[in-house]
Amino acid sequence: MTEITRRNALKLMSATLIAGAGVSMLPGMAFAAGTITVLNWQGYGTDEAWSIKAFQEATGIEVVHDYYSSEAEMLTKLRTNPGTYDLVVLNAARCAQAMAEDLISPIDYAKVPNISSVAENLRSNENFNKDGVGYAVPWVWGLTAIAMREGLPKADSYAVFGDPAYKGRVGLQDDAVGAIAAAALLTGQDMNNPKDLDLVKETLKGFKSNVKLLWSTEDQWNKSFAAKEFDVAMYWSGGAVRSRRVSKLPVDFVVPKEGGIGWVDGLGIPVGAPNAEGAHAFANWMIDPKFYVEWATKAGAPASANTAAMESLPADDLSRQIHKPEYISSMSIMSALPDDRREAFNNLWQEVKAFYAE
Amino acid sequence: MRSDAILNDAARGSSDPRQRRPIPAWVATTALLLPTYGWLTLAVLLPLLTMFVFSFMSATPMGKTPIVFTLKHYRAFIDQPYLINIAWTSLVIGFWTTLLCAVFGFLAAVALARATVGRMRETLLVLLLLPFWTNGLVRVFSWTMVLRENGFLDGVVDMVLPDIGSISFLYTRYAVVLGLVHGYLPYMILTCYIALSTIDDAIIEAAASLGARWWTILLRILLPLAAPGLISGAVLTFVPVIGSFMEPRILGGKVGVTMGTVIEDQFTQAFNWPLGAALSFTLLAVVLAIFATFSGVLRRGTTA
């Protein structure tokens, strides 16, 4: 009698799946096939339905998604589910961490031809490279700064979060790193390694009477802003474009004199990815000017790391207007934090939140 | 599996003339208890034990950080004194939620058990259980629609009393307690209803015929006799409420900082599982200490 072991059953199941998938995709097969699993924030570029459809028609690769709601959760998923994901969207700071923990593998740039026009200072960013080998395809960049209700005088400093004129009208992000970065920049410190954490803590505590809401998702930001719960908030530049274009909200995005809190998101391929070939193809698709222009004009997007893609946008495009090239030089880019500093940041933010709650 | 084998042996043993000795009582007891304890071990003890071990580690045991034994996470309440305020807030929220649940739940159960009969009672019971069938997240989010500024509540108030302005109380502790009471009230109603429905009608008739007014019947007869239900309902409400994180986060906004949200942050945002586990066990110890303090009351109540 044949034993139906788990392995046999799995083999049988995957054989059936592949056979089924192969037959159904025959007309579209170009150079690679199968399925890739992408791990990303929800509603963040990779899961645009039209793009997934076009990609499948062009390559025969089906794109499925799993989502995370915080970067720590993304790392947890990579650590606990090896061999599940083919492509992961990771922030430069987290990329360095994932690289150090051997969670992601080197990129074969030959399979990503669009890399040739990606801004060199983004590609050679220390967070994306180890020993001269690139571990991620720089995808998009943007910055966190201040979003204000249209018609209000434009703030020129993060001090607006403590301005008595906005009592109970401020929304901060429920994120230790972001909140501490704003307070560190305001007090003239290096946001990745502030020397005077007590000053940062006191600065954040000083926002207490202004803080109405600690938001954690873009959806929450939009709903609360639409319900007029706050007028001034920390916000992502890409989110501001989407809020204006998609939700028709009267949002002004302002970069203060201290500079924005910059970030670069990359596309990494986890170690043990079942379909690395397909993941490279999708990464190339993601920085393709054709995809980018459609993404940016249809939904609103952060600035592409691919200069050719940015230049293909119409001159009056909101995203192009918000992501001015000069912001790249004035902004500080978030780097990876050592464990003890991260813990100190988290404890500080927990204490500030407890103070806000009193 | 094993219990089946033993029971089969026992059955065979009794029909076999050569072996007349009955199996010892402890074997049967053990065999019958085995599935229960096996399940408890698997579902309660092992996960708790894993978290207990985590709570002594210096870092989350994933990734490459070397792990050493440490007690520092249990010092969190000393190193980060603001946690004491948060824990106090959680206990206060737990207290008010349980109290409100007990008052409304008991009265609703009395109404259900004493004032309704037959189909009416069945229908009302089903209506009480209906909220259980919807996701808790949906219930909490619908409260945000009701409570927010210019939300449903403000709309209704504006229709009746146009000059009163906004009475929105979203993002306050009241909103958190309201959401929690809504979520846990059915537990209290059910446990009280079960206790109340076992009370013999003759007792109440006897009291009434001896001249007792309705409040005397309620306070001197129904309340003491239904105390076991009230107490198990209170325990069922209090314990999950002080660890809740969804309701405080969504309805409490910036004031919704409780032990539940702090522990959740450790697991999801800070990736500090050991600290999260240590805080959970500290909270568990506090809950057990509270129950130990009131154990006399609890025991008297449940055996009455």
Convert the pLDDT of each residue in A246-294 to its tens digit.
Answer: 889 999 999 999 999 988 899 999 999 999 999 999 999 999 999 999 9
Are B81 and B209 part of one and the same domain? yes
Q: Is the pTM of this model over 0.80?
A: no
Q: How far apart are CA A291 and CA A298, in angstroms?
A: 10
Are B24 and B158 part of one and the same domain? no
Are A352 and A254 part of one and the same domain? yes
Residue B236 lies in a domain: yes
Residue A22 lies in a domain: no
Q: What is the mean pLDDT of chain A?
A: 86
Kind of pairing, strands A303-304 and A251-254? unpaired
Are A202 and A221 part of one and the same domain? yes
Q: How far apart are CA B28 and CA B23, in angstroms?
A: 7
Residues of B whose CB is below 8 A from A356: 254-255, 257
How distant, in Å, are the alpha carbons of A53, A301, B180, B264, B299 from that of A143?
A: 30, 12, 38, 27, 60
Which comes out higher in pLDDT, residue A54 or B121? A54
Are A240 and A121 part of one and the same domain? no
Lowest mean pLDDT among A2-16, A146-160, B259-273: A2-16
Indicate yes or no: CB of A353 within 8 angstroms of CB of B254.
yes
Interface check B276 vs A, CB under 8 A: no
Residues of B whose CB is below 8 A from A211: 254
Indicate yes or no: CB of B265 within 8 angstroms of CB of A350.
yes
Are B13 and B120 part of one and the same domain? no
Q: How far apart are CA A48 and CA A285, in angstroms?
A: 12
Give the DSSP letter string of A260-297. Answer: -EEEEEEEEEETT-TTHHHHHHHHHHHT-HHHHHHHHH
Are A155 and A242 part of one and the same domain? yes
Domain of B203: which CATH number? Answer: 1.10.3720.10
What are B244-265's pLDDT values in tens digits?
999 999 899 888 899 999 999 9
Mutate to test the interface with B, among A346, A348, A355 (most CBs of B within 10 A): A346
Are B49 and B82 part of one and the same domain? no
How distant, in Å, are the alpha carbons of A332, B65, B80, B87, B230 from that of B261?
A: 30, 26, 16, 11, 28
Q: How far apart are CA B77 and CA B65, in angstroms?
A: 25
Contact status, residue A237 vs residue A310, Cβ threshold 8 Å: no
Crossing angle, helix B82-115 and helix B273-293, to 10 degrees? 50
Provide CB contacts within 8 A for B140, sequence distance 6+. Answer: B179, B183, B246, B247, B250, B251
Residue B69 lies in a domain: no
Are A174 and A71 part of one and the same domain? no
Residue B151 lies in a domain: yes
Residue B63 lies in a domain: no
Q: How far apart are CA B104 and CA B98, in angstroms?
A: 10
Are B238 and B140 part of one and the same domain? yes
Provide the percentage of residues in chain B whose pLDDT is more than 70: 91
Are B218 and B117 part of one and the same domain? yes
Which residue in A102, A350, A356 is closest to B262 by CB distance?
A350
Q: What was the pLDDT predicted at A30?
A: 39
Are A257 and A301 part of one and the same domain? no
* B-chain residue closest to A351, CA distance: B82
φ/ψ (deg, to 5) at B275: -65, -40
Give the DSSP letter string of A200-260. Answer: HHHHHHTTTTTEEEEE-SHHHHHHHHHTTS-SEEEEEHHHHHHHHHTS---EEEE--TT--
Mutate to test the interface with B, among A214, A215, A341 (most CBs of B within 10 A): A214
Indicate yes or no: CB of B269 within 8 angstroms of CB of A76.
no
Are A48 and A112 part of one and the same domain? yes
Work out the burial of residue A194: count CB atoms within 10 Å of its CB; fewer than 13 is exposed, 13-18 middle, 19 or more buried. buried
Residue A306 lies in a domain: yes
Are A175 and A279 part of one and the same domain? no
Domains in chain B: how many in total? 2
A4 pLDDT more than 50:
no
Indicate yes or no: CB of A212 within 8 angstroms of CB of B270.
no
Domains in chain A: how many in total? 2
Are B39 and B115 part of one and the same domain? no
Residues of A whose CB is below 8 A from B269: 70, 72, 175-176, 346
Tell me the residue range of the domain where A44 lies.
Answer: 30-141+264-323
Q: How far apart are CA A96 and CA A136, in angstroms?
A: 10
B174 pLDDT more than 90:
yes
Which residue in A339, A350, A355 is closest to B65 by CB distance?
A339
Q: What is the mean pLDDT of chain B?
A: 86
| DSSP-based three-state secondary structure for A333 | strand
Are A65 and A126 part of one and the same domain? yes
Are A74 and A203 part of one and the same domain? no
Residue A296, amino acid: A
Interface check B20 vs A, CB under 8 A: no
Banded pLDDT at B127 (limits 50, 70, 90) = confident
Quote ipTM for the complex: 0.73
Q: What was the pLDDT predicted at B189?
A: 92
Q: What was the pLDDT predicted at B63?
A: 62
Contact status, residue A61 vs residue A53, Cβ threshold 8 Å: no
Q: How far apart are CA A318 and CA A233, in angstroms?
A: 19
Work out the burial of residue B270: count CB atoms within 10 Å of its CB; fewer than 13 is exposed, 13-18 middle, 19 or more buried. buried
Are B172 and B232 part of one and the same domain? yes
Q: What was the pLDDT predicted at B134?
A: 83
Are A202 and A60 part of one and the same domain? no
Q: What was the pLDDT predicted at B1?
A: 45
How distant, in Å, are the alpha carbons of B52, B53, B212, B236 from that of B46?
A: 10, 10, 53, 22
Residue B59 lies in a domain: no
Q: Write out the E strands in A72-174.
A: 87-91, 104-105, 129-130, 133-134, 137-149, 170-173
Q: How far apart are CA B181 and CA B175, in angstroms?
A: 10
Crossing angle, helix B259-268 and helix A71-80, to 10 degrees? 60
Q: What was the pLDDT predicted at B23?
A: 82
* B-chain residue closest to A228, CA distance: B149
Q: How far apart are CA A252 and CA A240, in angstroms?
A: 7
Residue A53 lies in a domain: yes
Are B2 and B134 part of one and the same domain? no
Which residue in B63, B86, B256 is closest to A101 by CB distance?
B63
Contact status, residue B231 vs residue B301, Cβ threshold 8 Å: yes
Q: What was the pLDDT predicted at A26?
A: 39
Are B18 and B112 part of one and the same domain? no
Are A256 and A270 part of one and the same domain? no
Interface check A209 vs B, CB under 8 A: no
Contact status, residue A66 vs residue A77, Cβ threshold 8 Å: yes
For residue B199, the Cα-to-chain-centroid distance in whole angstroms is 25
- Can you tell me the mean pLDDT for B221-232? 90
Query: Which contacts (CB < 8 Å, 24+ apart) does range B136-141 have?
Result: B136/B183, B136/B246, B137/B246, B139/B179, B139/B182, B139/B183, B140/B179, B140/B183, B140/B246, B140/B247, B140/B250, B140/B251, B141/B250
Indicate yes or no: CB of A351 within 8 angstroms of CB of B253.
no
Which residue in B82, B85, B268 is closest to A73 by CB distance?
B268
Spatial CA neighbour of A186 closest among A201, A176, A173, A174: A201
Are B151 and B246 part of one and the same domain? yes
- The number of beta carbons lying within 10 Å of the beta carbon of residue A333 is 21
* A-chain residue closest to B62, CA distance: A79
Are B2 and B130 part of one and the same domain? no
Banded pLDDT at A72 (limits 50, 70, 90) = confident
Kind of pairing, strands A34-40 and A61-67? parallel
B104 pLDDT more than 70:
yes
Indicate yes or no: CB of B148 within 8 angstroms of CB of A79.
no
Residue B21 lies in a domain: yes
Interface check A214 vs B, CB under 8 A: yes
Tell me the residue range of the domain where B19 lies.
Answer: 1-54
Backbone Cα Rg of chain B: 25
Residue A17 lies in a domain: no
Angle A320-A321-A324 from CA coordinates, rounded to 5°: 80
Provide CB contacts within 8 A for B74, sequence distance 6+. Answer: B55, B278, B281, B282
Provide CB contacts within 8 A for B109, sequence distance 6+. Answer: B188, B189, B190, B192, B193, B195, B196, B226, B229
Provide CB contacts within 8 A for A294, sequence distance 6+. Answer: A50, A51
Domain of A74: which CATH number? Answer: 3.40.190.10
